[in-house]
Structure 1
Amino acid sequence: MTRLLFREDAYLREAEAEVLGHTAEGGIVVDASIFYATGGGQPGDSGMIRWTGGRMAIATALRIEGGLIALVPAEAVALPPVGAKILQQIDWARRYGHMRMHSALHLLSVVIPLPVTGGQIGADKGRLDFMMPEPPTDVAALNEALNRLIARDMAVTTRYISEAELAAQPELVKTMSVQPPKGQGAVRLVQIGEIDLQPCGGTHVARSAEIGHVEIGRIENKGKQNRRVSLLLLD
């Protein structure tokens, strides 16, 4: 399995790894990855890798069979050989935007306490889809409540519980479209202060104040029971 360095320390900007192999599509399989692999509505990280005699831009990272991660080159160039030691460097500004937005969306699910049917994370804009038959009547009040939570500078922490424990607490799962992975023995939980706790494998800030000021953008009708709520990072 690939060691998930991005999960051990979301603030790590560069790290070494060894090339384990290549995929048929031209991906670079590594033994440890600082690049977050696409999943849970969060895009894979981009950046650069360097090795003796070469360098390459990385467009994203993907999970593949066997618990491995493959780095996807931005261009079709010669791959580092199997066994090569590489230095991984992520696009930190983009990653940090994802971290801020991901934590902000968790708090959005607190101020709009409805089932979540989908979501997407960007570096400066994200969204959650809610089971919401009628639009909110006071968006300004939601904005105020959300930014008030952010300003409380709550700690964002992680811990693990067993799959059996999660099954006994189904209320922890807010997302109807994406369920926590099964068969791994443990489920990662992300907690923000004492107000939010939910399964999540993504990267987050360490404290809520790092999110900065946000604003709810467009609220779109996405079906009879669903509405899409956009969120913007303003600073």
Structure 2
Amino acid sequence: MTEELYLPAGEYQRTFDAEVVAADEAGPSVVLDRTLFYKEGGGQPPDHGTLSWDDGEARVVDVRKDHGEIRHELDGDVPEAGTTVRGDLDWERRHAHMRYHTAQHVVSKVVLDEYGASTAGNQVYPDHARIDFEPADFDEADLRAIEEHANDLIVRDLPVRKENRSRSALEDETPEGRTNLDLIPESVDPLRAVSIGDIDVCPCGGTHVDSLAELGELEVTDRTSKGANVDRIEFVLHDPATAD
């Protein structure tokens, strides 16, 4: 089984060394004994980057879990099993996903607290994110209120803590409607928990920033109905260096 080096709190590491344990030239892809590359899941796309070794290099263009293995799909040479490789993350892409995934947690918590609506689905990208809420029927005033409440939390620069917690502790602390803990197999214990200050905690395997100051200003850009009692909110983050 591949060791996921970014868990529970190694998101800021950008390079690593690993050994190829399986190679598929037809894929082309490799399985490593350890990795920093995030595999697609939980509404978050995979990391990209490069693998290099003594006599070759390839771009990592996709990372997925396949029959229990974390498979790195490559564009370029394929190293043989037993080869030691160096992995380098596309840091700009990784950090963008970290910012938007943490912002998704902020917005989801705000909407749960203010409107009693749970997150029914979400997807983050390098330049925007969307969240589906249920039950929900937002108007323009609601969108501006959600935006304001989220930015009020962001300017407080709350710390974001990532750690492994016992399942029973998380079940006690996670508010009803915040996450679907029942969808996580009972055998998964402990769980990786993401906490934002003292306002939010929920299980999550995605990558996150260490503090809300990294998010910058949040702007809600759109709302669409996705069916009875389901509304989708889309938002963007402005660079902290240029936010007013």
Q: Secondary structure at the match of 1:183?
A: coil
* Separation (CA, whole Å) in 2 of partners of 1:55 and 1:19: 13
| Counterpart residue number, 2:109 | 110
Report the alpha carbon displacement of residue 35 of structure 1 after superposing the two structures with TM: 0.4
Residue 188 of structure 2: which of 154, 169, 184 is its match? 184
- Larger mean CA deviation between 51-60 and 132-141 belongs to 132-141
Residue 159 of structure 1: which of 150, 155, 163 is its match? 163
Residue 143 of structure 1: which of 135, 144, 147 is its match? 147
1:216 correspondence with 2:217? no
| Counterpart residue number, 2:242 | none
**Percent identity, aligned pairs only?**
34
- Larger mean CA deviation between 187-196 and 169-178 belongs to 169-178
Query: What is the TM-score normalised by the length of structure 1?
Result: 0.91
Q: Structure 1, residues 111-133: CA drift from partner, whole Å, max 9, x if none?
A: 21111110001111011100034
Contact 1:118 1:176 survives alignment (8 Å):
no
Contact 1:27 1:72 survives alignment (8 Å):
yes
Contact 1:166 1:172 survives alignment (8 Å):
no
| Counterpart residue number, 2:70 | 69
Report the alpha carbon displacement of residue 162 of structure 1 after superposing the two structures with TM: 2.8
| Counterpart residue number, 2:16 | 15
Q: Structure 1, residues 3-59: CA drift from partner, whole Å, max 9, x if none?
A: 111224100111111100025733210011110011111111001110110000111
Q: Secondary structure at the match of 1:11?
A: coil
Report the alpha carbon displacement of residue 166 of structure 1 after superposing the two structures with TM: 4.2
Contact 1:4 1:34 survives alignment (8 Å):
yes
Amino acid at match of 1:202: G
Gaps (5+ residues) in structure 2? Answer: 240-244
| Counterpart residue number, 2:4 | 4
Gaps (5+ residues) in structure 1? Answer: none
Q: Give the count of matched residue pairs.
A: 232
Query: What is the TM-score normalised by the length of structure 2?
Result: 0.88
Q: Secondary structure at the match of 1:112?
A: helix
| Counterpart residue number, 1:128 | 131
1:90 correspondence with 2:94? no
1:229 correspondence with 2:233? yes
Amino acid at match of 1:216: V
